[in-house]
A = this chain, B = another copy of it.
Amino acid sequence: MTIDAIEAAADRLKGRARRTPLLSSPFLDEIAGRRVLVKAECLQHTGSFKFRGGWSALSALPEAARAKGVIAYSSGNHAQGVARAAQTLGVPAVILMPSDAPSSKIDNTRAMGAEVVHYDRATGDRDAIGAALAAERGLTPVMPFDDPNVIAGQGTCGLEIAEQAAEAGIGGADVLIPCGGGGLTAGTALALEARAPRLRVRPVEPEGFDDTARSLASGRIERNEKTAGSVCDAILTPSPGKLTFPTIARLCGPGLVVSENDALRAMAAAFARLKIVVEPGGAVALAAALYHPAQFEGDAVIVIASGGNVEPALFAETLGRYGDGA
């Protein structure tokens, strides 16, 4: 992976992905004790950065593969990013989802023109079902993070951060990124290495799902004991990716870990002070910036708010519990 792949993805995404704003509030600066700049990827199409990777991957496919279609495994943001890109590009898309996925997510994915195929989470083998479907129909799998074109697409977020940080007068700073499989983390780190080497990426994860932080500490891929059971569902993965981890290990600073309550409180703060909707998994980097300021240095910090696809009931409950997140 090189910066050229990210630049090529940026060309394909031009006019298609949103250049999301870098937001700030003096109230957040005061909580953190330094400037806090928030890259609002929740405002990206489909409500998360995943649209970048989805479009990047699909737009790079040869015509024959586009005509046959793609398949993705996800009940979440990756599915929506791939489905929307597929719909706009006229590529058939199959999304393999557990049959107990929330009906709103199933409906949303169908509304974007994708075919939803269900499997039983307890008894079905997702990978086998997906492989059979792919073989039968000639579908190209689109992986959520271990795919060079997906990583390059997420890296376009890093190109924008490099430009926007310069406009905001930020020289050096840590860039905190919610980290699941590491596609956004690795892609952004590659972009910043080339365009703004004084911006250093640090992955942020929820407690109990800190596979990347532990992998960075040990120098090899570590796994989580579980892959479910956190409100930060968007960023729960078994381990960093085979493609993403070497880049993360080479370029990123130590991982940060926040509690679920920190993430929810940061969600409330983003509501009150930035007027954006962030999902819990998308709020972990902001949580680290606001509530763990001793974990890093410098007079500014950049965070990515990576997604905003949160159920209304959870959002409402969180506002009741944390008010303005101060």
Instruction: Give me the interface of A with B, judged by CB distance under 8 Å.
Output: 18, 20-21, 23, 26-27, 30, 40, 42-43, 47, 84, 104, 108, 111-112, 268, 271-272, 274-278, 308, 312-313, 315-317, 319-320, 323-324
Contact = CB atoms under 8 A, between A and B. Distances in A.
B313 A43 contact: no
A26 B315 CA distance: 23
A262 to B, nearest CB: 18
Contact of A320 (B274, B313, B323): B313
A103 to B, nearest CB: 12
Q: Which 8 A-B pairs rank lowest in CB-CB distance, beginning with the nearest?
A: A275-B308, A316-B316, A312-B319, A275-B277, A42-B275, A316-B319, A47-B275, A316-B320
Contact of A18 (B21, B112, B271, B319): B21
B111 A27 contact: yes
Nearest to A317: B316
A42 B313 CA distance: 22
B313 A276 contact: no
A33 B210 CA distance: 45
Nearest to A87: B26
Contact of A323 (B40, B112, B312): B312
8 contacts: A20-B21, A26-B84, A27-B111, A42-B275, A275-B276, A312-B320, A316-B316, A316-B320
